[in-house]
Amino acid sequence: MAKLFESIGKLGLALAIGGGVVNSALYNVDAGHRAVIFDRFRGVQDAVVGEGTHFLIPWVQKPIIFDCRSRPRNVPVVTGSKDLQNVNITLRILFRPVATQLPRIFTSIGEDYDERVLPSITTEVLKAVVARFDAGELITQRELVSRQVSEDLTERASTFGLILDDVSLTHLTFGKEFTEAVEMKQVAQQEAERARFIVEKAEQQKQAAIISAAGDSQAALLIANSLAEAGDGLVELRKLEAAEDIAFQLSRSRNVTYLPSGQGTLLQLPQ
């Protein structure tokens, strides 16, 4: 029994050692990832390993796993426009490495290639592009600025083995002085519009007064011509019309009594 237990122990130990060796000789590459093999004797291998489970030589080879899916990154940059205005820009980038160039990226840049490359080339490209536009053009031609930044940055990143799936300007603000100047300009424009409205209103009132005076003058001229042609008949007619109107208004009042003309009327009243 002792020999049996000893044999079982040796077999279990051999299986454990064998399992450890096999386990150390296997590695997994998840979906969307690629692996680069570092050999202690030959250095970084040129072949890029795809997804799945693979073998390697334990203690001699080591897998370096890279994520080849698109990842976002925000890069804030402070730069100056063509008219020397301070501009705060935040650029959002979707990037991923070129799978076939992973050995070169690992050898020349390292695993943290995004930290070493993206901030520097983004700042360089943004400063170069923004310096071509005035502050006003950065607002009115934002689509053109974004497209120019995307083209230049994509070309610059390709030299490092990076692919940019999307580049967009997510934040664009100016310095305090420029913002205050824009606000003052808007206030001045509003005051100018108000002053122009007042001037136009006064001009319209002037035109109305001129037209009214011209109408009164024409009316007076017509009346004068009528008097010259009809004599006093027109005046008497106007008197009669005025008296008729006064009589009509008085007739509607309860506090007014009409008495016939002559003194006899008062004598015939009862005592």
Neighbours of 199 (CB within 10 A): 10
Distance, in Å, from the CA atom of 238 to the CA atom of 161, rounded to the nearest integer, reads 104
Is residue 192 in some structural domain? Answer: no
Tell me which amino acid residue 93 is.
I
Output the pLDDT for position 1: 63
| Weakest-pLDDT range from 24-38, 46-60, 251-265 | 251-265
Q: Is residue 180 part of a domain?
A: no
Residue 108, domain member (yes or no): yes
Amino acid at 227: L
Same domain, 55 and 126: no
Q: What does the pLDDT average to over 63-70?
A: 92
Q: pLDDT digit string (tens) for 114-131?
A: 999 999 999 999 999 999
Write down the pLDDT at residue 182: 55
Flag whether pLDDT at 33 surpasses 70. yes
Position 134 confidence tier, pLDDT thresholds 50, 70, 90: confident
Identify whether 76 is part of a domain. Answer: yes
Residue with tokens 């590459």: 29
Percent of the chain exceeding pLDDT 90 equals 30
- Provide the residue range defining the domain that includes 86: 71-174
Q: Is the pLDDT of residue 159 over 70?
A: yes
Dihedral pair phi/psi, residue 229, rounded to 5°? -85, -40
* Helix/strand/coil percentages in the chain, nearest 5: 55, 25, 20
In-domain check, residue 181: no
Closest CA to 46 of 34, 31, 54, 58: 34
> Which residues touch 41 (CB under 8 Å, ≥6 apart)?
60
Is residue 42 within 8 A of residue 92, CB to CB? The reply is no
Q: What CA–CA distance (Å, rounded) separates 200 from 206?
A: 10
Instruction: Identify the domain boundary among 132, 147, 174.
Output: 174
Higher-pLDDT residue of 143, 269: 143
Give the 3-state secondary structure of residue 150: helix
For 171-180, what is each residue's pLDDT tens digit? 888 766 666 5
Mean pLDDT along residues 47-61: 87
Average pLDDT of the chain, as a whole number: 80
pLDDT reading at 25 higher than 90: no
From 45, 68, 91, the end of a domain falls on 68
37 within a domain of the structure (yes/no):
yes
pTM score, two decimals?
Answer: 0.60
Amino acid at position 21, single letter: V
Residues 134 and 39 in one domain: no
Describe the strand order of the beta sheet including 86-97 as a list of residue ranges. Answer: 71-80, 86-97, 162-174
Q: Answer yes or no: do 79 and 114 share one domain.
A: yes
Residue 249 within any structural domain of the chain: no
Interatomic CA distance for residues 40 and 74, integer angstroms: 37
Which three-class secondary structure string do you get for 91-102?
EEEEEEECHHHH
Per-residue model confidence as pLDDT tens digits over 186-217: 666 777 777 787 888 888 888 887 888 787 77
